[in-house]
Amino acid sequence: MIPTSYPTAEEIARLTARMLLEIEAVHLNADEPFTLASGLPSPTYIDCRKLISFPRIRSTLMDFLTVTVMRNAGFEAFDNVAGGETAGIPFGALVAERMGLPMTYVRKKPKGYGRNARIEGVMTEGQRVLLVEDLTTDGGSKLSFVDAIRETGATCAHTAVIFYYGIFPDTEAKLGAHGVTLHHLCTWWDVLEAAKESGAFTDTTLTEVEAFLNAPRAWQDAHKKG
């Protein structure tokens, strides 16, 4: 069912941040930083995959993501919804169901046998495709998915995520240069504000996290091992 009413973008961001904290998808630790996929340290880590195990929150956030995209891009702007392997697949399916559209998914690389395809499901030339993922850090991984979609003859000018880091200033410009608009529900700044209100983290931790969010590359350089 397509949701037809929704809160403001600011209220969506606030509620999304609260939900992520409630299910403990947000981890903050300045004393023992996490190692990101890039190999760089971070005092923050978020696991949006946990959302699939919480049906009430999952359903609410998928409503939020659907209406955010439709409000920003248009109510008849898409013909197909593609989830990015692997975390984007369940969210892509849930958004496609709400939009009443076909769902496909995009592999990170060809599977190496059979059709050797990167696109699974039916995607046809000329279709307008919305790429759905769980989150974006600096936007880099989205470009490969977008290119795979475009190789089919379809177009992809929009990507939607639940969580956007919001701390790397060139992310949206990088996507924009590739002809892609980013839609998201909340950022680390929204989560930081909710974390302060929750009382679940020490002032020391929150201060260190805020320092990272204000200057992530400098923080990472100062905390690299070896």
pLDDT digits (tens, 9 = 90+) for 86-102: 999 999 999 999 999 99
Share of the chain above pLDDT 70, in %: 95
pLDDT digits (tens, 9 = 90+) for 56-89: 999 999 999 999 999 999 999 999 999 999 999 9
In-domain check, residue 94? yes
In 10 A of CB 50, how many CB atoms? 16
In-domain check, residue 225? no
Q: Residue 210 — pLDDT band, cuts 50, 70, 90?
A: very high
In-domain check, residue 83? yes
One-letter amino acid of 219: W
Q: Residue 183: which domain range?
A: 9-218
In-domain check, residue 93? yes
In 10 A of CB 69, how many CB atoms? 24
With residue 18 as reference, give the H or E element that holds it.
helix 9-22
Calpha distance 23→50 (Å, rounded): 8
In-domain check, residue 55? yes
With b for 16 or more beta-carbon neighbours within 10 A and e for fewer, the 78-95 pattern comes to bbbbbbbbebbbbbbbbb
pTM of the model: 0.93
